[in-house]
Amino acid sequence: MNLDMQASQRLLLPVCFRYMKNNSLLAAVLLVVLITAGGPNAVARTSKPVLHGRHWVAITGKPLGATAGAKIFEQGGNAVDAACAMLAVVSTMYDDLSWGGETQALIFDPNQKKVIGVNALGVAPTGATVEFFKSKGMKYPPGYGPLAAVTPGTPGGLMVMLAEFGRLSLKEVMAPAIEMCDGYPIEAELTRKIENGKDRIKKWPYSVEVLLPHLGEDWEAPHAGEIFVQTKLGNTLRKLVETETKALAEGKTRKEAIYAANDRFYRGDIAEEFVRGSQGQGGLHTMKDLDEWQVYLEEPVSTDYKGIEVFKLTCWVQGPVLLQCLNMLEPMDLKSMGYNSSRYIHTLYQVMNLAFADRDFYYGDPRYPPMEPIKGLLSKDYAEHRSRSINWEKNDADVGPGNPYPFEGKTNPFLHLLEASMKSRKAAVVDGSSNRDLTAFEDSFLAGTTSIQASDREGWVVSITPSGGWIPACIAGDTGIAMSQRMQSFVLDEKENPFNLPVPGKRPRATLTPSMALKDGKPFLSFAVQGGDTQDQNMLQFFLGMVEFGMNVQEACEAANLISFQMRSSFGDHKISPGKLTLNEEVPSWVRRELTKMNYRLGYQHRTSGPITAIYFDREHNTMWGGVSDHGEDYGIAW
């Protein structure tokens, strides 16, 4: 008879305690078996099945989004075409992002046999300086409204990916999203978000027109199942397709025609209306800001973990945190600790403390000075040096940034700020006396986005973590495009992070972090997750679940994760809560007691897995396994 882990524990625990009095050694052995071998290596029951595909896999944050990806595959598109179609649909559905947000992606190109990074994060507009925000009495740039918005990134990101790596036309890829603009049955989750955010939405007239169709009634948002129409957004998307069609008729190539549409968005009448709509509501965007913004195709950073090469976007997002953690964990025998034992949880928490403290101080846009010490941060020697500082007996609430500069042969020019940085971190500790403050702090950490995974039998693989323009969002004029809220991820005090101060044209250091791993030069995993500062925490535990603990991709997507809050939030007031640890409610009582003794303050959730989306590449059978967490509305289709 097969037993899941919980059933095994319920049956075997009484045996342990029966023998405890007479044979403590036997009892201890049985307890270790329960925590380790009986857990992830056993046949586990998951809420969702593995998606098995031979030809393609399409996964994203909404069922309709995955359906759009499947439709594109069936029309002959490759994984990039399908990913772009899914991106267009989830942006139209406000799946915690919209068209004015930002797109971050990793693409495996089977022709070049390499991973390519896509940087489509917007930049600070003209006038968005430290002095400007301080003159308004702000400690950080605002979280909502026109002044929270960087330039739109997702339209450019989609069109560049499609032009450079796709196969189909913009018209074909945009068709599902345009059809949805004409009306689709809105889901309950979005209606709740609109209703809950309606007080802010009412400050922005173009948002009211779109998002509050029942203004003046008790429930002013659309009703679940109601046909949700976005006429002006549909007009904008049709203008892009019309431009492509005209360019093709004039003899332009497929790529040239897509870039003609891109030019209309960032330099033509769409840009003019976006700027008018932003400035008319107090925003700072100018035509020059949109004209000079561009998508970058760049080299990702990577590390080798036991023969698996893991790729992340570099330090303009938090992605290198995962690589820093893996570098510290690689020499450790994690498997012998047991999945989610107190030793394992403590180890991951302390390693994340070190990596995220570095993130908080050293990460920023590498295209603007000062230059981030990314080579030192990702050095294996630096990882070993940082690991030596871990307190194995209890949580260290005073972990701060390290000094990676010597590990790339340089002198740290910011040593004078490190002590001040620690004082700033201590001053930012969230006030635990107010439940309201704690709830707002936790919500900021878990701030949603979506993720997209796509792969095909030709070898194309795409992992995207887009975000920005979530509800409540300010829509820019008659474009129908909701603006980003990413400016709030900048800081205004160099003591917090000298690399992440706002400058016009500069990207804020974002949380968004797609992931990809190769083994023997071939795709091994493509994975991402929704959420804010928790993203690389979830990605780390997903990866270890598969590589160290033998989980399949669905088990790893659903596995119980821990959530640390001992890092500066990238949102709101950028607070921190040392020692705060959220566990899955199924973590055993003896693990909880041990962690409490180690200076952790515990909270519990029913689901702590993400929501993660992932694809595993089965080289033995030449198939693809898709995994989708049971945490949210993420959905996948495979064939």
DSSP letters for 31-46: HHHHHTTTTTTS----
Is 158 within a domain? yes
Is 578 within a domain? no
- pLDDT tens per residue across span 543-590: 999 999 999 999 999 999 999 999 999 999 999 999 999 999 999 999
Report the pLDDT value the prediction gives residue 487, as an integer from 0 to 100: 98
Is 156 within a domain? yes
CA torsion sign for 271, 272, 277, 279 is: positive
- pLDDT tens per residue across span 417-446: 999 999 999 999 986 655 666 666 676 666
Same domain, 131 and 19: no
Beta strand spans in 34-165 (E): 51-53, 56-60, 103-109, 114-120
Report the candidate in 169, 104, 156, 109 with the shortest Cα–Cα distance to residue 458. Answer: 109
Same domain, 17 and 87: no
- Average pLDDT of the chain, as a whole number: 92
Number of other residues whose CB lies within 10 A of the CB of residue 388: 6
In the block, tokens 């989610």 appear at 340
Same domain, 128 and 33: no
Mean pLDDT throughout 444-453? 77
Report the pLDDT value the prediction gives residue 17, as an integer from 0 to 100: 36
Is 41 within a domain? yes
CA torsion sign for 80, 627, 116, 92 is: positive
Residues 6+ apart with CB under 8 A from 145: 200, 203, 204, 281, 282, 474
Domain count, the chain: 2
Q: How far apart are CA 571 and CA 533, in angstroms?
A: 9
Q: What is the dihedral of CA 565, 567, 568, 572, to 10 degrees?
A: -20
Is 56 within a domain? no
Q: What are the φ and ψ backbone dihedral angles of 180, each rounded to 5 degrees? A: -70, -35
Domain boundary among 489, 524, 554: 489
Q: Is residue 25 scored above 90 in pLDDT?
A: no
Give the model's confidence band at 15: pLDDT under 50 very low, under 70 low, under 90 confident, else very high.
Answer: very low
Strand, coil or helix: what is 580?
strand
Same domain, 93 and 35: no
Report the pLDDT value the prediction gives residue 16, as an integer from 0 to 100: 38
Report the pLDDT value the prediction gives residue 631, as an integer from 0 to 100: 81
Mean pLDDT throughout 192-199? 97
Same domain, 41 and 87: no
First to last CA, the chain: 32
Is 58 within a domain? no
Number of other residues whose CB lies within 10 A of the CB of residue 133: 19
Report the candidate in 344, 302, 342 with the shortest Cα–Cα distance to residue 323. Answer: 302
Domain boundary among 454, 489, 524: 489
Report the pLDDT value the prediction gives residue 45, as an integer from 0 to 100: 83
Same domain, 38 and 87: no
> Counting beta carbons within 10 angstroms of the beta carbon of residue 49, is it exposed (0 to 12), middle (13 to 18) or buried (19 or more)?
exposed
Give the model's confidence band at 632: pLDDT under 50 very low, under 70 low, under 90 confident, else very high.
Answer: confident
Give the model's confidence band at 42: pLDDT under 50 very low, under 70 low, under 90 confident, else very high.
Answer: very low
Range of the domain at 473: 83-98+119-293+464-489
Tokens read off for 503 = 């400058």
Report the pLDDT value the prediction gives residue 44, as an integer from 0 to 100: 61
Q: pTM of this prediction?
A: 0.92
Amino acid (1-letter code) at residue 336: S
Same domain, 29 and 90: no
Contact 630, 610 (CB under 8 A): no
Same domain, 25 and 150: no
Q: Is residue 22 scored above 50 in pLDDT?
A: no
- pLDDT tens per residue across span 351-407: 999 999 999 999 999 999 999 999 999 999 999 999 999 999 999 999 999 999 999
Q: Is residue 246 scored above 60 in pLDDT?
A: yes
Give the model's confidence band at 449: pLDDT under 50 very low, under 70 low, under 90 confident, else very high.
Answer: confident
Is 634 within a domain? no
Contact 450, 89 (CB under 8 A): no
Report the pLDDT value the prediction gives residue 8, as an integer from 0 to 100: 37
Supply the Cα-derived Rg of the chain in whole angstroms: 24
Same domain, 27 and 90: no
Report the pLDDT value the prediction gives residue 451, as an integer from 0 to 100: 96
Report the candidate in 121, 502, 102 with the shortest Cα–Cα distance to residue 284. Answer: 502
Any idea which of 20-29, 393-402, 527-536 has the lowest mean pLDDT?
A: 20-29
Same domain, 147 and 281: yes
Is 78 within a domain? no
Give the model's confidence band at 37: pLDDT under 50 very low, under 70 low, under 90 confident, else very high.
Answer: very low
Same domain, 125 and 8: no
Report the pLDDT value the prediction gives residue 13, as an integer from 0 to 100: 37
Same domain, 133 and 9: no
